[in-house]
Amino acid sequence: MFDQMNQLPDIKEIRPDVAGVFSQVLQDTLRRLDKTYKAFFGRVQRGQQAGFPRFKGRPR
């Protein structure tokens, strides 16, 4: 996750559509994605029913 966060400035230089997005928003997205996948693979490892991670909007 931190490797991806360190790449954000380079990505913002290359991709003009991402350049206008605040860095904190991109970092928060990476954190939520990391948390989701850790929970998913944790359930898989414990042998529980693990549905694939789905996008859920912030204000539910």
Task: Map residue 31 onto helix, strand or coil.
Answer: helix
Is 32 within the bounds of a domain?
yes
The confidence score (pLDDT) of residue 37 equals 87
Do 40 and 50 form a contact (C-beta atoms < 8 A)? Answer: yes
For the chain, the domain total comes to: 1
Confidence at residue 53, expressed as pLDDT on a 0 to 100 scale: 67
Asked, for residue 36, whether it belongs to a domain, the answer is yes
Residue 27 lies in a domain: yes
Q: Note the pTM of the prediction, 2 decimals.
A: 0.70
Per-residue pLDDT for the chain (60 aa), expressed as one digit of tens each?
Answer: 778 889 999 999 999 999 999 999 999 999 988 998 898 889 889 988 877 767 777 675
Structural domain for 28, as ranges: 1-7+21-46
pLDDT at 13: 93
